């Protein structure tokens, strides 16, 4: 196996590439916590692993897939290992990274449903900027809904989460900043005409 096969796959149908190895680590982590009797940690890792597998099923482009898996791993392991409580800065990192990775996936999902144009289509500058705006809006909306979830979890179910006005504003600011970065990355991808498929066809690779 040469380095290109090692990094870009496909190894086999079950574990295609290093991104699937990261997915498998989260699945194994959920099983390990479950066996150890920590069902809450197991459930949190299982949920994030399930979302990672969904990204695999729809075969998003590898860079966005990798980023999303890393973002969800930070979320899942942060909850399972208590990193959010242990480190004050950890929550801010997760909000920024996860938003940067989730925003492009929302657009790609809508493109698969033919709600918005696919990234491989020829766009003018206004349409490319529209990709950025849509990604920013979707990522910001995701962050806002998450803040609502945190509020409901604390006030209705007694969850132990650090929330407050200042914390909410900081989280939503980081969500928008991350979404902006993700939107810029997606706009660059569109400028290259690389589309939303997992593997970029050789004839479309241009620099």
d(CA 60, CA 50): 15
Write down the residue that tokens 């929330």 correspond to.
Answer: 163
**pLDDT band at 202, cuts 50/70/90?**
very low
Average pLDDT of 28-53? 93
pTM of the model: 0.83
Prior bond of 11 cis (ω within 30°): no
Q: Which two tokens stand for residue 203?
A: 């004839």
Is the pLDDT score of 84 beyond 90? no
Percent of the chain with pLDDT over 70: 86
Q: Count of CB atoms within 10 A of residue 53's CB? A: 15
Higher pLDDT, 3 or 170: 170
Is the pLDDT score of 204 beyond 70? no
DSSP 8-state assignment for residue 203: G
**pLDDT band at 200, cuts 50/70/90?**
low
Residues in the chain, how many? Answer: 207
How deeply is 121 buried, as exposed, middle or buried, from its count of CB atoms within 10 A (0-12, 13-18, 19+)?
exposed
Is the pLDDT score of 49 beyond 50? yes
> To 10 degrees, the CA torsion angle through 166, 91, 162, 171?
30
């Amino acid at each position: 196996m040469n380095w290109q096969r090692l990094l870009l796959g496909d190894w086999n149908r079950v574990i295609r590439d290093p991104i699937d190895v990261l997915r498998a680590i989260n699945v194994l982590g959920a099983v390990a916590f479950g066996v150890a009797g920590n069902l809450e940690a197991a459930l949190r890792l299982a949920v994030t692993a399930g979302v990672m597998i969904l990204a695999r099923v729809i075969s998003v482009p590898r860079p966005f897939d990798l980023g999303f898996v890393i973002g969800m791993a930070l979320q899942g392991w942060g909850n399972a290992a208590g990193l959010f409580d242990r480190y004050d800065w950890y929550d801010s990192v997760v909000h920024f990274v996860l938003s940067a990775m989730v925003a492009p996936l929302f657009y790609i999902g809508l493109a698969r449903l033919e709600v918005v144009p696919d990234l491989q289509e020829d766009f003018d500058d206004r349409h490319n900027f529209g990709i950025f705006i849509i990604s920013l809006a979707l990522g910001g909306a995701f962050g806002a809904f998450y803040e609502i979830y945190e509020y409901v979890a604390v006030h209705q179910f007694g969850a132990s989460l650090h929330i407050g006005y200042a914390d909410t504003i900081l989280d939503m600011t980081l969500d928008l900043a991350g979404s902006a970065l993700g939107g810029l990355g997606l706009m660059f991808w569109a400028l290259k005409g690389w589309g939303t498929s997992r593997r970029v066809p050789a004839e479309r690779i241009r620099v």
